[in-house]
Structure 1
Amino acid sequence: MQSLAGKHCFISGGSRGIGLAIARLFAAQGAGCTLIGRDEDTLLSAANSLHRQEGSSQQHYTTAFDVSTQNGWEKLISDSKLQTCDILVNAAGVSQNSFLFNTSRLDVTEIIATNLTGTIWGCKHFIPKMMKQRKGKLITRCIINVASLLATHGGRGASVYAASKAGVVGLTRSLAWEVGRFGIRANVLLPGYIQTDMTKGSAGMDRKNELSALIPLGRLGLVEEVATAALFLAQNSYAHNCVLNIDGGLSAT
């Protein structure tokens, strides 16, 4: 298992929810983090909540841009202050709570652009950087994409969201084939119903008991539980092409 001490991680969607939980856990393990999101103030607040080890070179940064825009990723990569990228986590996402025939064209575009296209741009621009950093067979870089259980099981009022997350799964599997020989691992997380602001907006917490009744473990998951799964994928140097469900057993029903 690889230590995260001295490594640097870039996390899109790192200002809240699952992305922030991953950043906090990785920082506690000694990694430096660059948080990516749209709002600079929210990012700075999130970065200030991250652990900093005294006497270490660990540093945390923020960068604000819309992940669906290729220009934002290009600017980040070209930044002279860019840290070594050991881990890329694509956790940025927007939800949906409408049947397809009631979903506006703008909403369709935003969901696909943020959840799928943004993940594609992140991988596309960071992979060459990771390839150049390879330092031996046992030192691997890692991409962790955050999809959703809905990518494989669908969901009422979430057709476009499910399609975007299914695309993330397909992307990750293909990348695993493409980049493994360069010492880059690619894995994807499939969280089920997790207690986040996004879940509150899409599912409605008035449905919490209804949703919990569908889950074999009888409750929604916590962002910290998804973060520990991400930590496993980051540390295990043989974890590659993993599609890891974190759903309380919902996928078994």
Structure 2
Amino acid sequence: MSLLGKRCIISGGSRGIGLAIARLFAAEGATCTLIGRNQEALSTAAESLPRHNSQDHETVPFDVSNTNYWMKMVADRKTVKCDILVNAAGISQNSFLFNTAHGDVSKIINTNLTGTIWGCKFLVPKMMKQKEGCIINVSSLMAIHGGRGASIYAASKAGIVGLTRSLAWEVGRFGIRANVLLPGYIQTEMTEGMDKNGELSTLIPMGRLGLVDEVADAALFLAKNSYAHNCVLNIDGGLSAT
């Protein structure tokens, strides 16, 4: 129970990597607030989280790209601290740049990058008052590796790396740590069907896609290690080396 008494806010917490992180953090004693667009999915996710005596997990349904929702959430929780912020909300892309609709470009950037920026901007002041805090931003191997049909997605995830590295310079003196995870191909709804014939697995040195629990383990390391700051941590089965 290494996170006992900690308050964790997780965007994209209703499924995939975000939910896996929430489950592990809750098992380690943290009380989790899950953010996502779908209240039904959020409620189902929250019900699946481990609960100990003092944990009261909650859900807040909203679009992370909307500043009004962030401001309202922070205002409604003036007395609630945020020890750990995990920005895991994200949407994927499967189209060449010249075929990508204008609206999809904006949606990907606004959700993946802008949503992460707003989460940091609105919750860092709360951490500064506490003189401690931990930010874990979920990027992607695509940020440095690129990928066919993923230009906008890769750009949004590269922006998260730049954001986190710059933020680390700004907040370290306030006792706040900022780190970023770069998962490779992980078994989620987002990657479902991508490795039907095992062709994708052959490109990965470890010979398989990763598991959400393996990414969650990496997030827990970043949450617990008091000297882990400005880390860019690859969880990709060695694909970045190819």
Which interval holds the TM-score relative to the shorter structure? over 0.9
1:223 maps to amino acid: V
- TM-score, normalized by length of structure 2? 0.98
Q: Which residue of 1 aligns with 2:241?
A: 252
Query: Where does residue 137 of structure 1 map in the other structure?
Result: none
Aligned 8 A contact 2:88 2:137 in 1: yes
Q: Pick from 142, 160, 164: which aligns with 1:150?
A: 142
Partner of 1:192: 184
* Corresponding position: 1:161 with 2:153: yes
Task: Give the structure 2 partner of residue 21 of structure 1.
Answer: 20
Identify the residue that residue 81 of structure 2 maps to in structure 1: 84
Runs of 4+ in 1 over 2 A off after TM superposition: 80-83, 203-207
Distance (Å, rounded) in 1 between the aligned partners of 2:162 and 2:108: 17
Q: Which residue of 1 aligns with 2:120?
A: 123
Query: Would you say 1:67 and 2:64 are equivalent positions?
Result: yes
CA distance in 1 between partners of 2:148 and 2:210 (Å): 19
Kindly indicate whether the alpha-carbon contact (under 8 Å) linking 1:8 and 1:33 is maintained by their aligned counterparts in 2. Answer: yes
Letter in 2 for 1:147: S
Structure 2 residue matching 1:71: 3-state secondary structure: helix
Determine helix, strand or coil for the equivalent of 1:210.
coil
Match of 2:211 in 1: 222
When normalised by structure 1's length, the TM-score is 0.93
Name structure 2 gaps, 5 residues minimum: none
Secondary structure (helix, strand or coil) at the match of 1:187 reads strand
- Output the CA distance in 2 between the equivalents of 1:186 and 1:99: 32
Alignment-derived partner of residue 47 in structure 1: 46
1:132 aligned residue: 129
Q: Distance in 1 between matches of 2:138 and 2:69?
A: 20
Are the equivalent residues in 2 in contact too, given 1:76–1:82 (CA < 8 A)? no
- What is the CA–CA distance in structure 2 between the aligned matches of 1:8 and 1:210, rounded to whole Å? 41
Describe the SS at the equivalent of 2:223: helix
Judge conservation of contact 1:142–1:185 (CA < 8 Å) in 2. yes
The answer as to whether partners of 2:127 and 2:133 remain within 8 angstroms in 1 is: yes
Kindly indicate whether the alpha-carbon contact (under 8 Å) linking 1:28 and 1:51 is maintained by their aligned counterparts in 2.
yes
How far apart, in 2, do the equivalents of 1:122 and 1:108 lie? Answer: 20
| RMSD between superposed Cα atoms in Å | 1.2
Structure 1: which 5+ runs fail to align? 135-139
Query: Take 1:12 and 1:250, find their aligned partners in 2: how far apart are those partners?
Result: 26
Please give the secondary structure, in 2, of the residue aligned with 1:206: coil
